[in-house]
Amino acid sequence: MVEIKRQTKETNVIVKIDVNGSGKSNISTGVGFFDHMLETLAKHSGIDMEIFCDGDIDVDYHHTVEDVGIVLGEALYKEIFPIKNIERFSNAVAILDEAAVEVNIDIGGRPYLVYDMPRDGAIRDFDLELIEEFFKSLIFNFKIAAHIIYKRGTNKHHIIESAFKSFAVALRRALEYRESGIPSTKGVV
């Protein structure tokens, strides 16, 4: 289990994860929809997660969402790198009713994000553009590459939840054990 803390003038974040868990979660950020998405991420990735954030949500949700992404990415990096004996590359498409989002990932130490998702609008008072901020913070601190691609859907909640489920399943698959050691032709990742 790894624990990472980050305290700024805007947020106080504590993240504990166990990559070899069963998907249990204890999430409290003060942002209901975001908590729901993080619980979805834990459940479908199989990673146990405890995430606490006391943020300046009276201003807006940006700092909370961004800083949780930073700390979760740092925790995943610390727990997984240096990598060996994992599948490394993976993809998944998870659907939720009419919505489908495809996620492709490479746990390869080179951060890159392709984010082709709806950004306009909100779910209740949660701006959709914050989802990109979360994934950007997570990806760059986890030091992986991810392509998150909207395929179809009309319900905003379904679309975003499909993205989190797809990312979780792709992550779980990329972390699957394989015998061959370091998954790179370079011999190092």
Per domain, the residue ranges of the chain are 2-174
Mean pLDDT of all residues belonging to the chain: 96
Amino acid identity of residue 23, one-letter, is G
Determine which of 4-8, 21-25, 82-86, 149-153 has the lowest per-residue pLDDT on average: 82-86
Q: Find residue 28's DSSP bridge partners.
A: 52
Cβ atoms of 99 and 34 within 8 Å: the answer is no
Look at residue 164 and tell me whether its pLDDT is greater than 80.
yes
What CA–CA distance (Å, rounded) separates 24 from 51?
Answer: 11
Q: How confident is the model at residue 74 (pLDDT cuts 50, 70, 90)?
A: very high
Those residues whose C-beta lies under 8 Å from the C-beta of residue 150, and which sit 6 or more positions away, are: 101, 116, 117, 118, 159, 163
The predicted pLDDT at position 10 comes to: 97
pLDDT band at residue 188 under the 50/70/90 scheme: confident
> What pTM did the predictor assign?
0.96
Confidence at 184, pLDDT banded by 50, 70, 90: confident
If you ran DSSP here, which 8-state letter would residue 155 be given? -
Does 180 or 40 have the greater pLDDT score? 40
Architecture of the domain delimited by 2-174: 2-Layer Sandwich (3.30)
The single residue listed with the structure tokens 């890159």 is 112
8 Å CB contact between 94 and 166:
yes
14 pLDDT band, cuts 50/70/90, is: very high
Q: How far is CA 128 from CA 20, 31, 62, 159, in A?
A: 31, 13, 11, 10
Q: Kindly indicate the confidence band of residue 185, based on its pLDDT and cuts at 50, 70 and 90.
A: confident
Q: Is the pLDDT of residue 100 over 80?
A: yes
